[in-house]
Amino acid sequence: MTGARPKIVFLATPDFAAELLEYIISNQLAEVRLVFTQKNKPCGRGKKRPVPYIEKVCSKYKIPLYQTAKVSTPEYIELIKKMQIDIGFIIAFGQLLSKSFYSVPKYGMFNLHFSLLPLYRGASPLQSAILNGDKQTGVTIQKITNKLDSGDISLQKRFSLEKFTFNTALSKAQLISRKLLATFFTNAPETYTILTPQNHSQATYCKKIEKASGLIKKSYSLTYIRNMIRAYNSWPGTYFYLKNIKYDITLAGNLTDQITHPQLALVRPARKKLYLANSCQALEILKIKKQNKKELDTVSFLNGSKINFPAPIKV
């Protein structure tokens, strides 16, 4: 297949994955025969179904798109067989695939995963690396097997994670992904066939993030809470309740052991300063958002605040 563009089926759901699909198409890295995505769900007050970006990409390039809640069906398996697909490529698709599905393409199916596998197998690798305070992470292309993110590795590239939020880390991961995709497709079939097994004894796992994941608890260290603010800046946010009103901390500064409070509480040691403090140290709050209000910097928030400090938060 050297010199010829591989025929692929592409499976993805979020916008960033659709952007990578467009990168593959526009740079003629592969011949995308068909695309699968999850069914888009209604959202907003009107419960309208927005047009996902992946649908716009497929429409632009006239590529068949199938929105489905279950891709591993005899109908779709037969469809891929008829199209004589060389490989399948998956980015954040959100469904487990049966062996009868992922084994159809000539060279199997490959997945782009935002971690240094075997670390952080699962649904939230970037957020989990930030939560754990890791100084680096990476992007891996690995072959799909019957076990989650455990297949042999084709390509892998690491990058620094220090001071990154999820949004900035995602942007960095996307840039690296483009380079890996270019290498993956232009160096075929070696990138499909010369693979490195993972060291399964070093595997770690991460879970799907839920809305409740962003709730601050008294058992959390302030170092962990600061990492939460970085990891959850896109969604679900890092929040607490004060008199049944929700507050999101959207940007935090440095930690200090010069300020403490016996309970987890908001403290105001100076007129223009706001901290979240516990019995050991305090974390400076730089930006905060009150429920149903816009995000404010600390000074603006304090100028309009009627909170009596120190204010123990609900945990």
Count CB-CB contacts under 10 A for residue 207: 10
Which pLDDT score is estimated for 51? 86
In this prediction, residue 4 carries a pLDDT of 79
Confidence at residue 39, expressed as pLDDT on a 0 to 100 scale: 87
pLDDT of residue 191: 95
The string of pLDDT tens digits covering residues 149-197 is: 999 999 999 999 988 999 999 999 999 999 999 999 999 999 999 999 9
DSSP assignment of 241-283, as one string?
EETTEEEEEEEEEEEESS---SSSEEE-SSTT--EEE-SS-EE
Superfamily assignment of 7-206 in CATH?
Formyl transferase, N-terminal domain (3.40.50.170)
Structure letter (DSSP) for residue 214: G
Average pLDDT by consecutive 10-residue portion of the chain (315 residues)?
81 96 98 94 63 95 96 96 96 94 97 98 97 97 96 98 94 97 95 96 96 96 98 96 96 97 96 96 98 97 95 90
Where does the chain hold its CATH 3.40.50.170 domain(s)? Answer: 7-206
Which superfamily does 211-312 belong to?
Formyl transferase, C-terminal domain (3.10.25.10)
Provide the pLDDT for residue 2: 52
Residue 94 region by backbone torsions, left for phi larger than 0, else alpha for psi between -120 and 50, else beta: left
Please give the span between the terminal C-alpha atoms of the chain, in angstroms, as a whole number.
Answer: 59
Distances in whole angstroms, Cα of residue 179 to Cα of each of 11, 19, 161, 175: 19, 14, 18, 7
User: From CA 314, how far away is CA 295, in angstroms rounded?
Assistant: 21
The partner residues of 116 in beta bridges, in order of sequence, read none
Helix 53-61 × helix 15-26 angle, to 10°: 20
CA 38 to chain centre: 16
Structure tokens, 95: 């469904």
Look at residue 300 in the predicted model and tell me its pLDDT. 97
Place of tokens 């070696």: 190
pTM of the shown model: 0.93
**Taking the alpha carbons of 307, 309, 314, 315 in that order, is the dihedral positive or negative?**
positive
Please choose, from the candidates 139, 170, 172, 136, the residue with its C-alpha nearest in 3D space to the C-alpha of residue 154. 139
Which residues on neighbouring strands pair with residue 277, listed in sequence order? 265, 282
Q: Where in the chain is the domain with CATH 3.10.25.10?
A: 211-312
Residue 99 has a pLDDT of 96
CA atoms within 13 A on the CB side of 70: 5
Beta-sheet strands, E only, within 40-152:
65-67, 87-91, 109-113, 121-122, 136-143
Calculate helix-pair angle for 15-26, 166-186, nearest 10 degrees: 30
Q: What's the rounded Cα separation, in Å, for the pair 210 and 235?
A: 9
Name which of 218, 310, 214, 222 is nearest 266 in CA terms.
310
Joined tokens for residue 87 = 């490989």
For residue 313, what are its two tokens? 């938060």
Burial of 195 (0-12, 13-18, 19+ CB in 10 A): middle
